[in-house]
Amino acid sequence: MGKIHERRLEQPTPNVSVGKVILDKLRQNGDRVYAIDGPTGNRMTYSELLEKSVKFANFLQKYGIKIGDRIGIATENRLNWLIPACASFYLGAIVAPYNPMYTEYEFQHVLSIAKPRIIFVSRRTENLFVKMLPKLSWKVELIELDDQPLTANVRTLTNILNNEPSVDYMRYKAADIGDASRHPLTILCSSGTTGLPKGVTLSHKNIMAFFTKISKPEYLDIKKGDRILMVLPFYHGYAMSTTILGIYTSCTVIVMPAFEPKLFLTLVQEHRITHLPLVPPILTFLAKHPLVEKYDFRSVRELICGAAPVAKDIIAAVKTRIGVKCVRNGYGMTELSVVSGLSGRDDDDDAFEVPGSGLLMPGFLGKVVDLETQETLEAGQVGEICYLGEQVMLGYWNNPEATRQTIDQDGWLHTGDIGYFDDKNKLHVIDRVKELIKYKGYQVSPSEIETVLLSHPEVKDAAVAGKPDERSGEVPVAFVVKQPGAKITAQDLQELVKKQLSPQKWLYGGVQFVDAIPKNPAGKILRRELRAMISKL
């Protein structure tokens, strides 16, 4: 029969809308500071976010936004990002956040998934969207989050709020969304292994389950008035959920639009940061950069690292250099509402020998199945890791086929990761079925880069894989078969990818010309053989 691993829930997750919960928390905290902009020091209180988000929800309602409509946000991190997000949650609209670094090619695809009616832009993304809108098959309104638009007919959020009549935000009610476990809250971009990103659809219940579990002291030692430094991009599930968790736990969130070493260190010291949610490249920075030793990290109680494996020696170096007692590693994926397991505070550093080891979060069932037979395996046996529970996504938006390939008929989500549970119920992840390249915490799909390479007329065949890299984790490297008589160079192909895709997908590992791409009889690329080829480079 095999073993099912379980962590029981002490109390059921409330069947309530995230919008209602946020409204209650914003009202309770009044003039307490919710968010501080790292670079400028500008502040936003809980009551200011409450007033502006309720005003904006009224505007959206008059505009005709209703339950189930999608609202896109394609900007860098900033305080007022939260105004349209919260307003959408109140109305039962669905938030679709996008990476502002995407190119037009990438945006064309991700926008066609959720088809948002309104998209929030910044000065960084506005021109690109103005150029793209006529090419979309549905009507989209742009609203600029920065105070000054670059285009005459684009409205700004500030302007809309200034012209909205004042509201009784203390009595405002969130829309009734019905069953919170069925109603979508957000559509996040996945990194599919079968090509372009898919829309991971998480429900209100999915995110409420994350909030209620992670905020328990044994998972996150988080208290009212704590200070979280958010440098991770809000469009990422890990960051968006942690930022809203700040409201749920009555904390202050210090927001950075991008990672700048000196500013990051200064903010930790000045704001006496208690919680640092990070990704491995920033951990490497803490372990190695000479500036780090000049700053005071004694306020930091929790340093949690997710999104990619962490090397054991990096963990040890970080602990020694900044004096943090424990660095904890989270295992999860967007499809599991961010996190399904966390290493314990008292785990020794061996927990990091393999990425993402740790105990299951409550409410999850975990099992490992044989890759061939799908039979459930015993503790200690290696296979594909699968999960069942209330944090499993609703599915991929408008993509029943991809959903079926990931969630089986019994509701188990197949992660595409290879590993085992030990006899203490601890998870050990040792490899990936999915061949995603982990570049600086980004998940990069090889097939997305392959599609771009294959669009070149002089490329006969192409395959992309991750090459180990000390600074970035992995960098994409391409193997290319030229058409007979082709004159194309490695540099031409690197430029092509640069033009079409955002920086994390560029071919930092270079281009290797080969006679043939290793494939199985069914034509599937043998990525293990690619890895063997990389090891010889």
Task: Specify the pLDDT at position 524.
Answer: 67
Give the pLDDT confidence of 447-488 residue by residue, as tens digits: 789 889 988 989 988 999 999 998 899 999 999 999 899 999
CATH 3.90.226.10 fits 18-327, yes or no: no
Look at residue 195 in the predicted model and tell me its pLDDT: 59
What is residue 326's predicted lDDT score, i.e. its pLDDT?
A: 83
Q: Which residues of 155-194 are buried (b: 16+ CB within 10 A; e: fewer)?
A: ebbeebbeebeeeebeebebbebeebeebbbbbbbbbbbe
Contact of 256 with 230, CB cutoff 8 Å: yes
So what's the pLDDT on residue 523? Answer: 63
d(CA 171, CA 476): 53
Q: Residue length, the chain?
A: 537
**Structural contact between residues 364 and 340, judged by C-beta atoms closer than 8 angstroms:** yes
Give dist(CA 5, CA 352) in Å, integer: 21
What pLDDT score was predicted for residue 348? 52
Residue 27 φ then ψ, to 5°: -65, -40
Instruction: Give every CB contact of residue 153 below 8 A, 6+ residues apart in sequence.
Output: none
Look up residue 334 and give its DSSP letter.
G
Closest by Cα among 508, 481, 350, 532 to 428: 350
Residue 199 has a pLDDT of 97
Q: Other C-beta atoms within 10 Å of 138: how many?
A: 9
Q: Where are the domains of the chain?
A: 18-327, 437-535
| H or E element that contains 468 | strand 459-469
What pLDDT score does 21 carry? 98
Q: CB-based contacts of 341: which residues, under 8 Å, 6+ apart?
A: 330, 331, 332, 356, 357, 358, 359, 360, 361, 364, 366, 427
Residue 351, pLDDT score: 42
| Cα gap 532→471, rounded to integer Å | 21
pTM equals 0.87
Question: For 521, how many CA atoms within 13 A lie in the half-sphere containing its CB?
Answer: 0
3-state secondary structure of 206: helix
User: Contact 11/216 with Cβ under 8 angstroms?
Assistant: no
Q: Is 20 helix (H, G, I), strand (E, B) or coil?
A: helix
The pLDDT score that the predictor gives to residue 191 is: 63
Please provide the DSSP assignment of 123-147 as one string: TTTHHHHHHHGGGSSS--EEEESSS
Q: How many angstroms separate the CA atoms of 127 and 247, rounded?
A: 32
Tens of pLDDT along the chain (537 residues) come to: 789 998 888 788 999 999 999 999 999 999 999 999 999 999 999 999 999 999 999 999 999 999 999 999 999 999 999 999 999 999 999 999 999 999 999 999 999 999 999 999 999 999 999 999 999 999 999 999 999 999 999 999 999 999 999 989 999 999 999 999 999 999 999 865 455 789 999 999 999 999 999 998 888 999 999 999 999 999 999 999 999 999 999 999 999 999 999 999 999 999 999 999 998 888 888 988 899 999 999 999 999 988 666 767 788 889 999 999 888 888 888 999 999 988 877 765 444 444 446 788 899 999 999 988 999 999 999 899 999 999 999 999 999 999 999 999 999 999 988 889 998 888 888 766 667 788 988 878 887 898 899 889 899 889 999 999 988 999 999 999 998 999 999 999 999 999 999 999 999 999 999 999 987 655 667 877 888 899 888
User: pLDDT by residue (tens digit) across 314-355?
Assistant: 888 899 999 998 888 888 889 999 999 888 777 654 444 444
CA geometry: angle 273, 356, 382, nearest 5 deg = 175
Q: Are 54 and 167 in contact (CB under 8 A)?
A: yes
Distances (CA, A) of 260 to 42, 223, 294, 314: 18, 27, 16, 20
3 state SS for 263-315 = HHHHHHHHCCCCEEEECHHHHHHHHHCHHHHHCCCCCCCEEEECCCCCCHHHH
Tell me the C-alpha distance between 9 and 230, whole Å.
Answer: 29
Q: Are 481 and 471 in contact (CB under 8 A)?
A: no
- Whose CA is closest to 192, among 296, 110, 129, 124? 110
Q: Domain 437-535 belongs to what topology?
A: GMP Synthetase; Chain A, domain 3 (3.30.300)
- What are the C-alpha distances in Å from 285 to residues 300, 314, 328, 353? 16, 9, 17, 20
**Cβ pair 386, 374 in contact under 8 A:** no
Nearest residue to 95 via CA among 235, 261, 270: 235
Tokens linked to 235? 């469009």
The pair of three-digit structure tokens given for residue 412, joined into one six-digit string = 């188990």
Tokens of residue 102, six digits: 């995407």
> Residue type for 25, please?
K
Residues contacting residue 373 through CB under 8 Å, at least 6 positions apart = none
